[in-house]
């Protein structure tokens, strides 16, 4: 019997409709869905956005940069209980399904048909990985179809453990935490392996709505979600009934933990971030680069303490500037005080607070969160009122003369348990320490507080170096045949300054000594002697010679003021220059990044610094130019800039932490010149402007103070053969520090505090004496050999060819006539 016509027509219509629907679906999938699918290579090469991390030389974390806090953890290091908790909460059938859950998708489709809402996605963990890595969060049919297809492909190409690894390290868990390790740090301040069962269940409940139900924002909802996870774990047999009950009874222990570096070196971190960004571009902060620096953790801590102590000391000695703000005492409620200091953070251990009460000899200060402390008279009596850099008011007689209720102040907790009134210094400073052998930066502090000022005074502050520049001119004079015993007249100098004016330079003490040894001019930092010396050797010669130490001649003036340090340099440039003296005469380049490792663990940059190596063969191009007899024709060495990142070694093999072959640094000055300069700079500490440093009890230290006009800048640059350190103190707006604030008073204490800690337990070390030198007993009044009965005689070392004899100086070539008049 033939079927009815209507049935045939219906079947044909349905068949044609089905074919048309299939064709439309095929075209839609081909034109809309497939173009958005990743290739197999892209799936196998999936990587997560990971922040840039900067480490000290020993692997301690300095800084982390990036919008996403993520700390990837290998699958084998993820505790089994963590894996079980997330599977119980998100996808219990993960290990048995083909990447998608058809049952879950059908349930979501029925829900959509009945309600019209897309709030049930039916997504498996594999589908979430597909969405998080390759798709957007928009809820469209095309995106859902792509998600299913990508999930199936991921399930085919990767193992289950690889998929779960990607998920647990990629998933967003609120408060900026991406991945389970970052979440453990953010919510509990712990490593993932240290979490308890209630804490694990709390984290496992977050993927559903991490921003709305996390324990910081909504504790009640977070507890409800935690209970669901614990119940699922019990039902699946992952935990026992007893464990379930104990975990259910546990209170919320989550507290927001901010990033806490292991090394306080934020200026170094910023330098590393900028260097990596210049090298790798916009992906620098998302591709998980690890930057290993040359910073020594202990030296960095020593530098931080030294700089902050010195600037606080200066600030205290120059008087109390008053409160940062004031509240009306009539409305001085706890709420008002909390509001006043809300958002104020501790700056270098200077804690904000509000004066709540004033006693006869003490202050009660409110620190917030209901905490009150008492500042006794020992912590207050220093607070003479500030008037000017050289003037303070009378010493206070009681606490009421210092502060009043409502004052917003800063206090500091001392080691003995007491509190001290303090203030954030207006003055600024910088401290940098290098290893002179290769220029590795071992410690760097660019200011009192990175929070208050990101300006890095070590690398960015171009300031006048004052007398700390004199040694480079004196070295130039030695190269021209002058000796430490050359007599130069310390007498008034009057020079034309243009427009009918005269320049009358003078010494700090405003006295004149007559003819003195060249060595005395450097040791006592005599300006007039130094100017006469520069007149003798020539300004052009001195400028070209200074380039040997890495200075840019363009920033060195072409007149006699250059010997007084009227140019502009940074503390890092000063440290580089003094490294020449410390390492035996070689010009190194400061650097601080030893290597950069990418997300896969491959070394993508390896530093290859030049090494001060007296015994290495020196290619002709690295030898210093010979000064001519007249001092002209001296070529400034090229590349006076700073190799902050470090020279990259060529062809670094992937995954290999190479040790590049020794590369000698160019020689800047002769070994003999260097030895003579170090002897004179040691005398600066033994008998000259740096003699306060004798308190360190070391014989291997050398250095030079620096003070500019009206004491706007204070410097000390010093070293031994193992470490060079430069300290600087001044105001950012370039104003006087105070009449007495010379380099010896303002900057040397910082240097001493640092070197005392840095060289503790380190044996004294001296550079070997090079050949071609002789030591002679000299009469300081004549510069000639002294008789055996001369009680004022001193031993001075010379190059043999210039050593004085009874008849005069040594043999040819004769140096220029000393400027005695």
Cβ neighbourhood burial of 474 (10 Å; 0-12, 13-18, 19+): buried
Residue 481 is classified by DSSP as T
| Strand, helix or coil for residue 71 | coil
The DSSP string of 210-271 is TTTSSTTT-HHHHHHHHHHHHHHHHHTTSS-HHHHHHHHHPPP---------SS--HHHHHH
d(CA 179, CA 194): 16
- CA 798, distance to chain mean position in Å, is 42
Among the listed residues 549, 774, 532, 576, the one whose alpha carbon sits nearest the alpha carbon of residue 675: 774
Cβ neighbourhood burial of 702 (10 Å; 0-12, 13-18, 19+): buried
Query: Residue 525 region, left (φ>0) first, then alpha (ψ -120 to 50), else beta?
Result: left
Q: Do 785 and 795 contact (CB within 8 A), yes or no?
A: no
Q: Do 226 and 218 contact (CB within 8 A), yes or no?
A: no
| Strand, helix or coil for residue 408 | strand
Phi, psi of 427 (to 5 degrees): -70, 155
709's CB contacts (< 8 A; 6+ apart) are: 464
Q: Do 437 and 323 contact (CB within 8 A), yes or no?
A: no
566's CB contacts (< 8 A; 6+ apart) are: 464, 557
From 123, 315, 467, 594, the catalytic residue? 467
Among the listed residues 726, 27, 205, 816, the one whose alpha carbon sits nearest the alpha carbon of residue 444: 726
Residue count of the chain: 821
The answer to whether the bond into 47 is cis (omega within 30° of 0) is: no
From 90, 97, 573, 741, the catalytic residue? 90
Residue 348 is classified by DSSP as T
d(CA 624, CA 463): 27
Among the listed residues 800, 796, 798, 805, the one whose alpha carbon sits nearest the alpha carbon of residue 778: 796
Instruction: Tell me how crowded residue 133 is: count the other CB atoms within 10 A of its CB.
Output: 18
Among the listed residues 651, 313, 631, the one whose alpha carbon sits nearest the alpha carbon of residue 479: 631
Residues 385-389: contacts with CB under 8 Å, at least 24 apart: 385/319, 385/320, 385/322, 386/318, 386/319, 386/320, 386/321, 386/322, 387/319, 389/318, 389/735, 389/736, 389/737, 389/738, 389/739, 389/741
Whether residue 670 lies in the annotated active site: no
Strand 52-55 and strand 61-65: the pairing is antiparallel
- CA 153, distance to chain mean position in Å, is 45
Whether residue 90 lies in the annotated active site: yes
Instruction: Quickly tell me which residue has 């620190």 as its tokens.
Output: 367
Among the listed residues 91, 101, 111, the one whose alpha carbon sits nearest the alpha carbon of residue 147: 101
Among the listed residues 342, 350, 338, the one whose alpha carbon sits nearest the alpha carbon of residue 379: 350
What Å distances lie between residue 737 and 175, 564, 568, 741, 813, CA to CA? 45, 18, 18, 6, 46
Q: Which residues are catalytic?
A: 90, 467
């Amino acid at each position: 019997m033939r079927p009815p016509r209507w049935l045939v027509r219906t079947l044909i219509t349905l068949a044609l409709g089905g074919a048309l629907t299939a064709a439309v679906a095929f075209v839609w999938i081909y034109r809309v869905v497939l173009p958005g699918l990743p290739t197999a290579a892209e799936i196998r090469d999936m990587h997560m956005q990971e922040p840039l991390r900067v480490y000290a030389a020993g692997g301690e974390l300095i800084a982390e940069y990036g919008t996403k806090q993520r700390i990837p953890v290998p699958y084998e290091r993820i505790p089994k209980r963590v894996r079980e908790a997330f599977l119980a909460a998100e996808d219990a059938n993960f290990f048995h399904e083909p990447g998608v859950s058809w049952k879950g998708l059908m349930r979501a489709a029925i829900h959509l048909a009945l309600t019209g809402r897309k709030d049930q996605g039916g997504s498996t963990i594999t589908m979430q990985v597909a969405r998080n890595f390759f798709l957007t969060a928009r809820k469209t049919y095309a995106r859902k179809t792509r998600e299913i297809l990508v999930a199936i492909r991921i399930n085919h190409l990767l193992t289950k453990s690889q998929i779960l690894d990607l998920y647990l390290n990629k998933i967003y868990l609120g408060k900026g935490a991406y991945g389970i390790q970052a979440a453990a740090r953010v919510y509990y301040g712990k490593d993932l392996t240290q979490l308890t069962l209630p804490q694990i269940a709390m984290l496992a409940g977050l993927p559903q709505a991490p921003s709305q139900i996390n324990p910081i924002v909504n504790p009640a909802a977070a507890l409800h979600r935690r209970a669901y996870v614990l119940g699922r774990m019990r039902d699946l047999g992952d935990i026992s009934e007893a464990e379930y009950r104990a975990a259910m009874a546990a209170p919320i222990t989550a507290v927001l933990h901010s990033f806490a570096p292991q090394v306080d070196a934020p200026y170094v971190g910023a330098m590393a971030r900028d260097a990596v960004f210049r090298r790798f571009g916009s992906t620098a902060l998302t591709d998980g680069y690890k930057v290993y620096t040359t910073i020594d953790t202990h030296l960095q801590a020593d530098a931080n303490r030294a700089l902050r102590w010195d600037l606080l000391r200066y600030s205290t000695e120059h008087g109390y500037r008053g409160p940062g703000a004031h509240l009306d005492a009539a409305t001085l409620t706890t709420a008002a005080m909390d509001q006043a200091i809300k958002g104020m953070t501790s700056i270098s251990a200077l804690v904000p607070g509000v004066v709540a009460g004033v006693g006869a000899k003490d202050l009660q200060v409110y620190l917030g969160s209901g905490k009150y402390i008492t500042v006794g008279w020992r912590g207050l009596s220093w607070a003479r009122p500030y008037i000017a850099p050289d003037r303070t008011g009378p010493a206070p007689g009681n606490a009421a003369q210092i502060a009043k209720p409502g004052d917003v102040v800063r206090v500091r907790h001392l080691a003995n348990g007491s509190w001290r009134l303090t203030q954030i210094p207006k003055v600024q400073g910088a401290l940098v320490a290098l290893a002179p052998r290769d220029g590795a930066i071992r410690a760097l502090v660019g200011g009192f507080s990175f929070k208050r000022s990101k300006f890095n005074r070590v690398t960015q502050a171009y300031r006048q170096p004052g007398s700390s520049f004199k040694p480079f001119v004196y070295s130039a004079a030695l190269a021209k045949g002058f000796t430490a015993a050359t007599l130069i007249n310390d007498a008034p100098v009057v020079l034309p300054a243009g427009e009918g004016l005269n320049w009358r330079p003078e010494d700090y003490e405003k006295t004149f000594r007559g003819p003195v040894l060249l060595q005395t001019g450097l040791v006592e930092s005599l300006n007039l002697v130094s100017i006469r010396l520069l007149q003798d050797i020539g300004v052009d010669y001195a400028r070209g010679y200074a380039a040997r130490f890495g200075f840019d001649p363009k920033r060195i003036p072409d007149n006699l003021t250059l010997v007084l340090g009227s140019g502009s340099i940074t503390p890092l440039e000063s440290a580089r220059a003094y490294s020449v003296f410390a390492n035996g005469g070689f010009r190194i380049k400061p650097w601080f990044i030893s290597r950069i490792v990418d997300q896969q663990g491959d070394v993508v940059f390896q530093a290859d610094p030049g090494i001060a190596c007296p015994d290495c063969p020196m290619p002709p191009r690295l030898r210093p130019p010979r000064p001519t007899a007249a001092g002209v024709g001296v070529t400034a060495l090229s590349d006076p800039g700073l190799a902050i990142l470090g020279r990259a070694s060529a062809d670094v093999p992937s995954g290999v932490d190479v040790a590049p072959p020794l590369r000698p640094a160019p020689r800047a000055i002769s070994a003999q010149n260097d030895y003579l300069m170090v002897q004179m700079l040691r005398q600066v500490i033994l008998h000259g402007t740096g003699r306060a440093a004798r308190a360190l009890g070391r014989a291997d230290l050398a250095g030079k103070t620096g003070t500019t006009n009206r004491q706007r800048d204070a410097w000390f640059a010093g070293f031994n053969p193992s470490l060079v350190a430069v300290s600087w103190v001044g105001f950012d707006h370039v104003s006087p520090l105070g009449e007495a604030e010379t380099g010896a008073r303002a900057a040397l204490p910082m240097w001493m505090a640092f070197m005392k800690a840095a060289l503790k337990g380190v044996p004294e070390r001296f550079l070997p004496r090079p050949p071609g030198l002789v030591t002679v007993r000299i009469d300081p009044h004549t510069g000639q050999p002294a008789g055996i009965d001369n009680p004022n005689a001193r031993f001075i070392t010379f190059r043999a060819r210039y050593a004085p004899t009874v008849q005069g100086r040594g043999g040819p070539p004769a140096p220029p006539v000393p400027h005695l008049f």
